[in-house]
Amino acid sequence: MSTHGTGEHHHTLLANTVSLAGDWVASVACVAPSSTVAFTLALLLLFAGLASPLAVVVAGVGMLLVAVGYSRLNNWKPHAGAPYIWVGQAVHPILGFATGILAILAATVANIGNITLAGTYLLGIISPGHTFPKILVWLLSTAVMALVIYVAVRGIRPSIVVQTSIIAFEYAIVILFVILALVREIVTKAAGTHGPSLAAFSIHTSPTGFSGLANAAVICGFLYAGWEAPLVLGEESKKPHFNPGRAAILGLIFLTLWYTFLIITFQGVASPAKILTLKTDVLTYAGQVLLHGWGRLLSLAVFSAVFGTTQMQLVESSRVTFAMARDRLFAPAIARIHPAFRTPWVASLLLGLIPPLALIPYLASAGATTAIGYIISADGLLYLLMYFIIAAACVWYYRRYLRTGTKNLLVSGLLPLVGGLFNLLVFAYGMIKQAHQVSIVAGSLWRCASCGPSPPVLSAGRRTSRRRPSRTAARRRPRASRSPSGSAPTTGRGRLSPAHVQAGGQEMRSEIGAEDDLGLIDAARRAAGHLGVRVSSAVDAGGNLKAFLRRGRCGAGRPNGYHGEGLQCTAVAHRIPTHELANLAAPGDHCSGCTRVPEAGT
């Protein structure tokens, strides 16, 4: 059962499609390590020198702490519009709306740069060393974007298959050149090269000390941008309350190790002065030096990575746009789902058209070229800000739950808080050091926010009100109650509380057996509230009762009932045939048929 109601397939994505491995592929592919190393290695060396690996490790740990916060919010509510729905419901609707705009803008701005580089790199593979007309670059970039849109609309399953193929091809080539680079640096010790060293992880190796590492950390905001992609696939993932968050954490662990390995290897293929002159062509040069005559292979790997990240950025931004349109934050037509592929084809098409159109001024004006370059270079700052906001939203949402145990204090409070503050400090430092770029990005944000609709009140379902909430109502939050370890905090309305039922005169506490059932039970509760009925049940596709909810007194013994909001008595059952519902619905002192359900993970 969808939380948006059955029968509304025009507003429902294809559920239970992406596995944990597929979510991990989405996280890694959206970052595209090969291409980002090619484009940022010279900048990292410029700021941090040979201590660049240290900056990469520190930034990766900061991102990993934020990913813990993302995972905890995903435990609460998997959603295609995860950034805006989490912040909007946990903190404030207006801040949630702004976070959604921020997520869409960050991914779309990244794709403007991606397709430009894709066209340039592809032409460089075809004819190395030549300069091509800008109109040809634009036409080829537009063709690449058209293919990206086609794959994105074709379905999430084909998208993951394409991404998996790209990763296999890209990494096979990159690993080959990594081995050749290490042989050149360690075995043959060619002139100008230097092998990996532990000195790369010392702050004293940086020519400008801490300031150089701080500048490199700002670049790392772009380096790691996109790891959160699986979190917007919550409505399409298997085990949606668990897999997307786990995939993001596993993806970041892999990316931190892989980035560190790539940078400490390729920064030694030539002298730092030589690498600085190469700018974004470091891996092109490395391919020519390491495997003469076959150097185009490495450029081809970089191009495949650029294609992959462009496609996943479009998937991510289209899901957020679709979810906001579904909640009437944008025009409802944008929320249309392709009837065969169950993908947000209108949102994908609209967002896919923006990068080629944004590149039109690139053909006509040198000033516009500079402006586009500023926006692209500042894109990492957008991600840093978004990561801080969502990490802070996690801490705020779980604030009353932090005292229930050391584990909850750590994973729901301290780790996301430290990671969020780290990203905020890097963002603030980047704001100071990139004032011109930031002014352009801020202007873009303001124009997007001013031309959009006023953010309505976010509710648990699809229906929203366009009236602004009163100051008191907007800030009112239901009181939290204790829930099982590792699950989201529970509240009186809109979420499932631990069940207190009566059996044999004894009060007993029942927990949900699987968090995958949360959406089903949540929908049943909301439906009962809308209809004003006292009894509701949640039944799975196999006809088995997942939960039975009674509103009011728990039997005749009110003192032994659950004294939550509205005196709600909840009986939770696991795999009970529906013909036994009559036993649960029978009034009296005892709750007949109620059984204790194992806790999650047992």
pLDDT grade, residue 18 (50/70/90)?
A: very high
Segment 194-199 shows an average pLDDT of: 90
How would residue 260 be classed by pLDDT, with cut points 50, 70 and 90?
Answer: very high
State the Cα–Cα distance between residues 370 and 218, nearest whole angstrom. Answer: 20
Answer yes or no: are the C-beta atoms of 538 and 523 closer than 8 Å. yes
CA-nearest of 8, 1, 6, 102 to 326 is 8
CA 312 to chain CA centroid, nearest Å: 11
pLDDT of 562 higher than 90:
no
Q: Which of 53-57, 286-290, 504-508 has the highest mean pLDDT?
A: 53-57
Residue 569 has pLDDT above 80, yes or no: no
Q: Are 499 and 571 in contact (CB under 8 A)?
A: yes
Q: What is the pLDDT of residues 443-497, one digit of tens each?
A: 444 444 444 444 444 433 333 334 443 444 334 443 433 333 334 333 333 333 3
Quote the pLDDT of residue 134.
79
H/E element holding 577? strand 568-577
Q: What is the pLDDT of residues 483-499, one digit of tens each?
A: 333 343 333 333 333 33
Number of Cβ within 10 Å of residue 248's Cβ equals 27
Model confidence at 169, pLDDT cuts 50, 70, 90, reads very high
Higher pLDDT, 196 or 469: 196
Radius of gyration for the chain, computed over Cα atoms and rounded to the nearest angstrom? 26
Closest-CA residue to 229 (of 430, 336, 386): 386
Q: Residue 509 has what pLDDT? A: 33
The band of 523, judged by pLDDT with boundaries at 50, 70 and 90, is low
Average pLDDT over residues 176-188: 92
C-alpha to C-alpha distances, 196 to 156, 276, 504, 582, nearest whole angstrom: 40, 19, 70, 71
Please give the Cα distance from 8 to 330 (Å, whole number): 18
More confident of the two residues 334 and 118: 334
pTM metric for this prediction: 0.73
pLDDT confidence of residue 292: 78
Q: Is the pLDDT of residue 20 over 50?
A: yes
Average pLDDT, the chain: 76
* Confidence category of residue 549, pLDDT binned at 50, 70, 90: low
Rounded mean pLDDT, 352-361: 86
pLDDT confidence of 415, banded at 50, 70, 90?
Answer: very high
Q: What share of the chain has pLDDT > 90, as a percent?
A: 46
Instruction: Indicate whether 157 pLDDT > 70.
Output: yes
So what's the pLDDT on residue 73? 96
| pLDDT over 60 at 564, yes or no | no
pLDDT confidence bin for 132, thresholds 50/70/90: confident
Structural domains in the chain plus CATH codes: 9-451 (1.20.1740.10), 493-585 (no CATH)
Contact criterion met (CB below 8 Å) for 54 and 201: yes
Q: What is the mean pLDDT of residues 529-557?
A: 57
Percent of the chain with pLDDT over 70: 67
Is residue 437 within 8 Å of 377, Cβ to Cβ? yes
Q: Which residues contact 520 (CB under 8 A, 6 or more apart)?
A: 1, 538, 540, 546, 547
Mean pLDDT across 490-511: 33
Query: Per-residue pLDDT tens for 77-115?
Result: 999 999 999 999 999 999 999 999 999 999 998 898 888
pLDDT at 438 over 90: no
Residue 150 is predicted with a pLDDT of 96
Which helix (H) or strand (E) is 178 found in, with range?
helix 156-182
Decide the pairing of beta strands 506-510 and 499-503.
antiparallel
Q: Tell me the DSSP string of 520-576.
A: HHHHHHHHHHHHT-SEEEEE-TTSEEEEEEEES-STT-GGGS--STT-EEEEEEEEE
List C-alpha distances in Å: 110 to 246, 311, 357: 25, 11, 14
Q: State mean pLDDT over 6-33.
A: 84
Q: How confident is the model at residue 299 (pLDDT cuts 50, 70, 90)?
A: confident
Alpha-carbon distance of 502 to 553, in angstroms, equals 11
Confidence at residue 484, expressed as pLDDT on a 0 to 100 scale: 34
Q: What is the pLDDT of residues 60-82, one digit of tens each?
A: 999 999 999 999 999 999 999 99
Which residues lie below 8 Å from residue 221, measured CB to CB, with a gap of 6+?
59, 380, 381, 383, 384, 423, 426, 427, 430
Give the contacts of 214 (CB within 8 A, at least 6 positions apart).
426, 429
Query: Coil, strand or helix: which one is 423?
Result: helix
Q: Is the pLDDT of residue 399 over 70?
A: yes
pLDDT at 565: 35
pLDDT above 70: residue 42:
yes
Alpha helices in 398-460 (DSSP H): 406-409, 415-433, 435-451
